């Protein structure tokens, strides 16, 4: 889930990813993402929710939830467990 107040009325947020073997972040659109904009009193709350099955390719990837056209972001890492752990 990625959420924040990116600006009213046109503010948007996006995901950026950096896989383990990549040196730069790139924009990424998760399939079937649910996007909700809640506008109230000239403030926009933008929420992107995803459900995604991460494969081994995503192990140690970094994902950013970022305001478009801004340097502000929140970042997390993905750790994929091998099937042997289940």
| 18-58 per-position pLDDT tens digit | 999 999 999 999 998 998 888 888 888 888 999 999 999 99
In the chain, where does DSSP find H-type helix?
Answer: none
Return the bridge partners of 73, or none.
66
Supply the pTM of this predicted model. Answer: 0.80
Chain mean position to CA 23: 18
């Amino acid at each position: 889930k990625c959420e924040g107040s990116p600006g009213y009325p046109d503010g948007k947020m996006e995901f950026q990813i950096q896989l383990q073997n990549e040196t730069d972040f790139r924009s990424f659109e998760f399939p079937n993402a649910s996007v909700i904009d809640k506008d109230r009193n000239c403030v926009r709350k933008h929420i992107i929710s995803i459900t995604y099955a991460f494969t081994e390719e995503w192990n140690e990837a970094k994902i950013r939830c970022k305001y478009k056209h801004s340097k502000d972001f929140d970042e997390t890492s993905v750790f994929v467990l091998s099937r042997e752990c289940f």
